Amino acid sequence: MNEIEAAIQDKVRSLLEAEKIQFFIGYEKGSDPIHSAPCFVKEPKDVERLVWDPFCAHNLVTFIIDEKKRELPRGEEPDSRPIGLLVKGCDSKAMIQLMSENKIAREEVYIIGVCCNGVIDSTKLEKILTEKSIDFEALAESDIQVDKDSVVIKYKKEKVSIAKKRVLLDKCPDCMSPNTLVYDDLLGDSVEPADSRDYTSVEEIEALSLDKRWEFWKKLLTRCIRCSACRNICPICYCKECAVDSAHQVITPKTTYQEKANKGTWIEQTVDLPENLFFHLTRMLHMAGRCINCGECERVCPMNIPLSLLTRKLEKEVKELFGYEPGKDVDAKPLMSTFEEDDPGDFIK
């Protein structure tokens, strides 16, 4: 057990024993040695399940939104105590963004912040392990650490060192906020943030011709199966009714087939390129000036669509056009509900 893990467990135990929080959301061991999973702890005795390792990728802020959406069973009174939450640096930007949108109040969440050296992309690691023919069973008793420049895997007297960029999630190498920005307790040593964001991947696409760009996205978006994992994992997507779900419409015997066919749907359930494109563009438009680039949508996509290219593009444009960075300032007005006289308008005839 590492120091931070022990500190988390101690803190959570004392919080639960003092009944200061409803429950705590952290991470536990996942289905195999290269995954961790979100973990809900309600009883002090379960605190031992909590871990802190380089596979703690999930943005747990999502679950606060999720909890807010939960329908209370009849007769149950809402609990006014805060929910305990483990928050990494990048995730804390989501927290700030939600606070600035008045979606979450600060006192609703007890935040244990943790300074983070970067989290490992399990898919990348799996590929490297296969290349190096390292058995998964061998990793069961392993020690995997992320240090300043590399990821070090120690198992059975063996030691493997892998360059950070090859194995961390794409959001990590140029992370500008490795230290939690808003917290009640902060664990771990402060980590030096990157100097600047790296937009090379976005610029590579921008440099392509329109047709090439279209071919690129066409291939990727045809693959999309619209499982909604990207939308549902997103901490910033909190609408109860989503624009891309079929709207609720009361159907009576008098409802005509045209009315049924034309019911208020922006998007059809059919899965094909235009609908998929509509889905992803709509999601991005609703994310403009709000997406904090936690990269969760890309991580969870079962079809491996590099969605963070879109979110990074959005981040870049918002920064260049309006000098705005979401998730930075609780008091900042949301980008789309404010304007400046001298906003760029050259595109308008």
Partner 1 sequence: MSEFEPKIVAFLCKWCSSAGADLAGVSRLEYKPNVIPIRVMCSGRVDPLFVLKALKEGADGVLVSGCHPGDCHYVQGNMFARRRFIILKKLLEFVGIHPDRFQVSWVSASEGTKFTKVIDDVVESVKALGPQTKFKKVGIDE
Partner 2 sequence: MTSSNKTKQECYVIKKDAVKAFLDSLSDYTLHAPVREDETILFKEIKNTDDIIYDFSNAVKAPKDVVMPQTETMLTITKGGKDSLVVEEPESPDKSVVFGIRPCDAKGIALLDQIFYEDKQDTYYVQRRENTTIIALACNDPHRNCFCTSVGGAPNGKAGCDLLFTDIGDAYFVEVVTSKGKKLITNKKLFKSISEADKKAKNAAHKEATRKLGDALDLKNFPEKLEKMFGEEFWEKYALKCIGCGACAYMCPTCYCFDINDIDYKDVVKRVRTWDSCQFGNYTMHTSGHNPRPNKVNRVRNRVLHKFKYHVDNYNEIKCVGCGRCTTHCPVNMNLKAIIKELAEKEL
Interacting residues with partner 2 between 238 and 257 (CB under 8 A): 245-246, 248-251, 257
Identity at 175, one-letter amino acid code? C
For residue 45, state whether it binds partner 2 (rule: CB under 8 A): no
Q: Phi, psi at residue 38, to the nearest 5°?
A: -60, 150
In sequence order, what DSSP letters do the residues of 42-95 get, joined into one string? -SGGGGGG-B--TT----THHHHHHHHHPPPPTTPPPP-SPEEEEEEHHHHHHH
Min separation Cβ 264 and partner 2, Å: 12
Select 43 or 340, whichever has its Cβ closest to partner 2.
43
313 binds, among partner 1, partner 2, none (CB under 5 to 8 A by kind): partner 1
Contact code string over 292-331 relative to partner 2, x by CB under 8 A: ----x--xx-xxx---------------------------
Select 93 or 226, whichever has its Cβ closest to partner 2.
226
Work out which of 239, 268, 274, 281 binds partner 2, going by CB under 8 A.
268
Work out which of 8, 12, 50, 62 binds partner 2, going by CB under 8 A.
62
Using alpha carbons, list the distances in angstroms from residue 265 to 116, 152, 242, 261, 270. Answer: 42, 50, 10, 9, 12
Q: Which residue in this structure is represented by tokens 């002090």?
A: 44
Total chain residues near partner 2 (CB under 8 A): 50
Q: Which residues bind partner 1 (CB under 8 A)?
A: 205-206, 210-218, 243, 266, 268, 270, 272-275, 277-278, 281-282, 284-285, 288-289, 310, 313-314, 317-318, 321-322, 335-337, 339, 341, 343-345, 347-349
214 binds, among partner 2, partner 1, none (CB under 5 to 8 A by kind): partner 1
Determine the 3-state secondary structure of 151 from DSSP.
strand
344 binds, among partner 2, partner 1, none (CB under 5 to 8 A by kind): partner 1
12 binds, among partner 1, partner 2, none (CB under 5 to 8 A by kind): none
155 binds, among partner 1, partner 2, none (CB under 5 to 8 A by kind): none
Measured CA to CA, the distance from residue 175 to residue 198 in angstroms comes to 9
269 binds, among partner 1, partner 2, none (CB under 5 to 8 A by kind): partner 2
Select 88 or 318, whichever has its Cβ closest to partner 2.
88
Using alpha carbons, list the distances in angstroms from residue 325 to 75, 96, 316. Answer: 42, 11, 9
Among residues 57, 71, 164, 179, the alpha carbon closest in space to that of 115 is found at 179
Measured CA to CA, the distance from residue 138 to residue 33 in angstroms comes to 9
Interacting residues with partner 2 between 16 and 35 (CB under 8 A): 30-32, 35
Q: Which residue in this structure is represented by tokens 């198992």?
A: 155
Measured CA to CA, the distance from residue 95 to residue 65 in angstroms comes to 10
Using alpha carbons, list the distances in angstroms from residue 292 to 51, 87, 227. Answer: 25, 14, 22
31 binds, among partner 1, partner 2, none (CB under 5 to 8 A by kind): partner 2
Work out which of 36, 179, 180, 311 binds partner 2, going by CB under 8 A.
36
CA atoms within 13 A on the CB side of 211: 0
321 binds, among partner 1, partner 2, none (CB under 5 to 8 A by kind): partner 1
Using alpha carbons, list the distances in angstroms from residue 286 to 35, 179, 281, 283. Answer: 30, 27, 9, 5
Using alpha carbons, list the distances in angstroms from residue 306 to 75, 153, 171, 196, 285. Answer: 44, 27, 12, 21, 17
Interacting residues with partner 2 between 209 and 238 (CB under 8 A): 219, 223, 225-229, 231-233
- For binding to partner 2 (CB under 8 A), which residues are involved? 30-32, 35-40, 58, 62-63, 66, 70-71, 123, 127, 136, 219, 223, 225-229, 231-233, 245-246, 248-251, 257-258, 260-262, 268-272, 296, 299-300, 302-304
